[in-house]
Amino acid sequence: MGDQQCQERSYLSLKIYPPHSFSQKALIDTQQKYKALYKESIDNPELFWGKVAQEIDWFKPWEKTSNGELIHPQWFCGGSLNVSYNCLDRHLKGNRKSKRALVWEGENGESLTYSYEELTKEVCITANVLKKHGVGKSDTVVIYMPLIPQAIITMLACARIGAIHNVVFAGFSSKSLLERILDSGARLIVTADGGFRRGKIIPLKTRVDEAASLSNQIKKVLVFKRTGSAVQMIEGRDYWMEKERAGVEEFCDPAVLDSEQPLFILYTSGTTGKPKGIVHSSGGYLVQTAFSTKMIFDLKEEDLYWCTADIGWITGHSYVVYGPLANGASIFIYEGAPDFPSFDRFWQLIEKYKITIFYTSPTAIRAFIKWGLQWIANHDLSSLRLLGSVGEPINPEVWMWFYRHVGKEKCPIVDTWWQTETGSILISPLPGATPMKPGSATFPFFGISPEVVDEQGNPLPPGRNGFLVIKGPWPSMFRGIYKDENNYKKIYFSRIPGVYFTGDGAYKDEEGYFWITGRIDDVINVSGHRIGSAEVENALVSHPAVAEAAVVGIPDPYKGEALIAFITLKEGYLASTELVQVLKDHVVKEIGSLARPQEIRFLDTLPKTRSGKIVRRLLKEVSLQGRITGDTTTLEDSQFIDKIGKI
C-alpha cells in the first residue's frame, strides 16, 4: 500500500532465516555472497552472463555476449547449440547415463521411470517420426497432450530438430485449441487418444478432430495411446505414434541451431485479457533457465524435483523440462489432480517417491488449507528439503501454513516472481542465503535490475506502491509476441520508455525486499491512496474463516473507488451478515479504515485461469455492469459466468 499503514501489519516484520543445515550445503550460503555476486552481475552483465553461458555446451561459441538491446534483444550472438543435446546427450558422457531423468505417475497409479539414456533414445525416435512426417527447422508443432512422459519427449524432439513447439494445455476446449493452432501457423499436431482427469477421460483426439474440421491448416495428427478409448482416425491425416516409431532410427543427430533460433511459442495465462503468443529463443533461454534452476532450487545430484505445473504453462517449460534437465536433475511429474481420488494425493506421492524439492502455486496451497490438516497429518514428508511457490502473490498466511505444515519449519520457501515473457525467475530468495519474509519474493536474481517507479518512470522511495519495471535486458527475455510487433512494443516498452514494463504493481520495503501487490490493472485508488488488490486480500485471508479472496475497486463519488471483496470460506464456516461485519473490522484492524471493503460477497469458487490465477477483471465487470463481456477463453470453470450472474 502506498503509505506507512501497511508497515504496521504484524507479519511484515517477520523474518525467517534459512535453516543452518540447509545453508551449510547450499551453493550460495550467505547474504553477503549473494550481494557480492549480484553486484558483479549488474556491474558487468556481459562478463557475468558470458561466464554463466559456459555451463552450456555450444557447438560453436558465440562471438558477442549480447547486442545490448532491451527491445529485440539477442544473446550469445553467432553461437550455435542444440537445447535437447544440452538436456540429454551431454549427460550421457558423464555418470548420468543410468541416472533417473524422469519419474512419472499416472492418475490411475501407473508409474514409469526413464534414465537419461532411455529418455535420449525416446526423444530421438520421436524426432525421427516428426522428420518422417515432414517437420523441419522452424516449423511449428502444436502439442496437445496430458501430462505423460511422451509430452516432454515430444517437446525435446521438436527442440532436437529445430521445430518450434506450441504446447496447448490439455484442459482447453477445441475452440481455444483452434485459436492457438491458427495463430501459431502449425500444420501438425501431436496429441493422445485422451488423458485421465479425476477418473474421467478427457477426449483430446476428439477435440483435435473438432478443431481440425474447422480449418484446413492441419495436415497431420500424430496420436499417442494413453487411455485406450476408441477414437476416429482419418486416413492420410492421423497416425498412431506406436506404429510410426517402428522402423525409424534410434538416433537422431541434434540440429546445429543458431542461439537465436526460436525454441517455442507459448500463450500467456490470459489473466488480464486475451492471451499473447510469447516467443522464446534457444541460447539465451537455456542459459538462464539452467542457471536459475541450479541456483534457486539449489540442485543436488540426488534430488528428486517435483514442479507441479502443467507443461502447458511457462513454469512447465522452464522449471519442469528445460531448466532441470539441462542440469541433469531427476524430475518427477504426475498426471492428475491433487484431489483425486482423495485430498491427500500429493502427500502420498511425496511420501512414496521421497520427493526432495516441491514447487507449486498459491492456489494449490490455498486448496490444501481449505481441505484441512487431516489430509496431510498421516504422511511422512521428511524427504522434503526445499519448497517453492509461483504464479500469484502468496498470502503471508498461506506462506506460513506451507512453511509449518508441509516444510515442518525446516525447508526454506522460494517465492519466485516471473512471467511467461521473462522466461525464467527474476525475483526470488536464494534458499541458503536469503532471510525470508512471508509474502515477499525478496530480491532480484543475478543480472536482473528491477525497480519500482511512478507513471513517469521515477524510482519510488520504500513503502510506495508503483509499477514494477526491469531496467536492463536479460538472456531469457522473450523475443516477441508472435506476429504482433505492435503489441510487443506497445504493451511492454512504450508506457515507460527505456525499461521493460511488467504490468505488475509492487513496492520495496526499507530493506529492499520486493513485495508484489497485484496487477496494475487491479490497483484500487481509495481517497488518493493506491492499494494493491493483494494487500487487502492478504488481510482477508489472514482471518481463519477465509479460504480465498479477490478484491476489486468500483467507482465511488466520494472516495474515488470503493472496495468490493469476493471470498470463499473454509470448511465449517457459513456466510452471514455477522461474518461480513467481522471481516470488515478485521481488514480495518490489519490495514486501516481506508481499506474497509464496502461490500463482501461470498462465492463457492473464484474465477480462475486454467493455470490457477484469480481473474479479478471479470469480478470487476460483474460488480460494475452485472455481466461479463471480456475474454473468458482461459477460464477454468466456464460455468462460472452463469453462476456469477446469479449472485
Interacting residue with ligand ATP among 128, 268, 292, 308 (CB under 6 A): 268
Gyration radius of the chain over CA positions: 24
User: Under the criterion CB under 6 A, does residue 293 sit at the interface with ligand ATP?
Assistant: no
User: Strands 277-280, 264-267: parallel, antiparallel or unpaired by DSSP?
Assistant: antiparallel
Q: Is 530 annotated as a binding residue?
A: yes
Which has the closest alpha carbon to 528: 563, 559, 570, 553? 559
The residue with cell 533417473 is 100
Shortest distance, position 263 Cβ to ligand ATP, whole Å: 17
Nearer to ligand ATP, 332 or 500 (CB): 500
Quick note: the x/- pattern for Mg ion over 210-249, rule CB under 5 A, is ----------------------------------------
Stretch that binds ligand ATP, among 235-243, 270-278, 443-451, 578-586 (CB under 6 A): 270-278
Shortest distance, position 505 Cβ to Mg ion, whole Å: 13
Stretch that binds ligand ATP, among 129-137, 238-246, 369-377, 385-393 (CB under 6 A): 385-393
Q: Which of residues 253-272 bind Mg ion (CB under 5 A)?
A: 268
Q: Which of residues 496-525 bind ligand ATP (CB under 6 A)?
A: 502-504, 516, 519
577, with CB counted inside 10 A (0-12, 13-18, 19+), is exposed
Q: Is 551 annotated as a binding residue?
A: no
CA 49 to chain centre: 23
DSSP state of 594: G
Q: Is 209 annotated as a binding residue?
A: no
Query: What is d(CA 122, CA 153) in angstroms, rounded to the nearest whole number?
Result: 7
Beta bridge partners, 258, equal 80
Shortest distance, position 606 Cβ to Mg ion, whole Å: 18
Q: Is 518 annotated as a binding residue?
A: no
Pick one of ligand ATP, Mg ion, none as the site partner of residue 611 (Cβ within 5 to 8 A by kind). ligand ATP
The secondary element (H helix, E strand) that includes residue 222 is strand 220-224
Nearer to ligand ATP, 254 or 532 (CB): 532
545, with CB counted inside 10 A (0-12, 13-18, 19+), is middle
The residue with cell 522473450 is 478
User: Under the criterion CB under 6 A, does residue 398 sit at the interface with ligand ATP?
Assistant: no
CA 116 to chain centre: 25
Q: Is 187 annotated as a binding residue?
A: no
User: Under the criterion CB under 6 A, does residue 395 sit at the interface with ligand ATP?
Assistant: no
Cα separation values, 618 from 73, 243, 609, Å: 34, 46, 11
Q: DSSP letter string over 607-626? A: -BBTTS-B-HHHHHHHHHHS
Pick one of Mg ion, ligand ATP, none as the site partner of residue 392 (Cβ within 5 to 8 A by kind). ligand ATP
User: Under the criterion CB under 6 A, does residue 420 sit at the interface with ligand ATP?
Assistant: yes
Contact 296, 323 (CB under 8 A): no
User: Strands 500-508, 466-470: parallel, antiparallel or unpaired by DSSP?
Assistant: antiparallel
41, with CB counted inside 10 A (0-12, 13-18, 19+), is buried
Q: Is 521 annotated as a binding residue?
A: no
Nearer to ligand ATP, 124 or 520 (CB): 520
Pick one of ligand ATP, Mg ion, none as the site partner of residue 516 (Cβ within 5 to 8 A by kind). ligand ATP
Nearer to ligand ATP, 258 or 392 (CB): 392
Interacting residue with ligand ATP among 441, 536, 552, 600 (CB under 6 A): 441
Pick one of ligand ATP, Mg ion, none as the site partner of residue 476 (Cβ within 5 to 8 A by kind). none
Stretch that binds ligand ATP, among 8-16, 46-54, 281-289, 411-419 (CB under 6 A): 411-419
Query: What is d(CA 543, CA 583) in angstroms, rounded to the nearest whole number?
Result: 7
Q: Is 391 annotated as a binding residue?
A: yes
Query: What is d(CA 534, CA 1) in angstroms, rounded to the nearest whole number?
Result: 9
Nearer to Mg ion, 207 or 613 (CB): 613
Stretch that binds ligand ATP, among 98-106, 255-263, 272-280, 293-301 (CB under 6 A): 272-280
User: Under the criterion CB under 6 A, does residue 275 sit at the interface with ligand ATP?
Assistant: yes
Contact 261, 452 (CB under 8 A): no
Contact 184, 215 (CB under 8 A): no
Nearer to Mg ion, 276 or 543 (CB): 276
Amino acid of residue 127: A
Listed in order, strand segments (DSSP E) in 370-498 are 386-390, 413-416, 450-453, 466-470, 480-481
Pick one of ligand ATP, Mg ion, none as the site partner of residue 338 (Cβ within 5 to 8 A by kind). none
Nearer to Mg ion, 23 or 268 (CB): 268
Shortest distance, position 479 Cβ to ligand ATP, whole Å: 15
Pick one of ligand ATP, Mg ion, none as the site partner of residue 479 (Cβ within 5 to 8 A by kind). none
Contact 137, 162 (CB under 8 A): yes
Interacting residue with ligand ATP among 53, 148, 314, 333 (CB under 6 A): 314
The alpha-helical segments, DSSP class H, found in 241-342 are 241-244, 283-296, 314-316, 323-326
Q: Is 420 annotated as a binding residue?
A: yes
Q: Is 200 annotated as a binding residue?
A: yes
Shortest distance, position 516 Cβ to ligand ATP, whole Å: 4
Interacting residue with ligand ATP among 120, 227, 419, 424 (CB under 6 A): 419
Query: What is d(CA 36, CA 642) in angstroms, rounded to the nearest whole number?
Result: 54
User: Under the criterion CB under 6 A, does residue 101 sit at the interface with ligand ATP?
Assistant: no
Query: What is d(CA 182, CA 427) in angstroms, rounded to the nearest whole number?
Result: 34
DSSP state of 2: -
Beta bridge partners, 450, equal 470
Shortest distance, position 379 Cβ to ligand ATP, whole Å: 26
The secondary element (H helix, E strand) that includes residue 534 is helix 533-541
Shortest distance, position 264 Cβ to ligand ATP, whole Å: 14
Amino acid of residue 478: F
Quick note: the x/- pattern for ligand ATP over 613-642, rule CB under 6 A, is x-----------------------------
Shortest distance, position 417 Cβ to ligand ATP, whole Å: 4
The secondary element (H helix, E strand) that includes residue 192 is strand 188-192
Contact 208, 144 (CB under 8 A): yes
Q: Is 393 annotated as a binding residue?
A: yes
User: Strands 220-224, 188-192: parallel, antiparallel or unpaired by DSSP?
Assistant: parallel
Query: What is d(CA 571, CA 370) in angstroms, rounded to the nearest whole number?
Result: 6
The secondary element (H helix, E strand) that includes residue 75 is strand 75-77
Stretch that binds ligand ATP, among 25-33, 148-156, 268-276, 404-412 (CB under 6 A): 268-276
Beta bridge partners, 16, equal 436
Q: Is 617 annotated as a binding residue?
A: no
Q: Which residue number is nearest to Mg ion in terms of Cβ?
A: 268
Q: Which residues bind Mg ion (CB under 5 A)?
A: 268
- List binding-site positions: 197-200, 315, 391-393, 415-420, 504, 519, 527, 530, 541, 543, 546
- List binding-site positions for Mg(2+): 541, 543, 546
Q: Which residues bind ligand ATP (CB under 6 A)?
A: 268-273, 275-276, 313-314, 390-393, 415-420, 441, 502-504, 516, 519, 611, 613
- List binding-site positions for CoA: 197-200, 315, 527
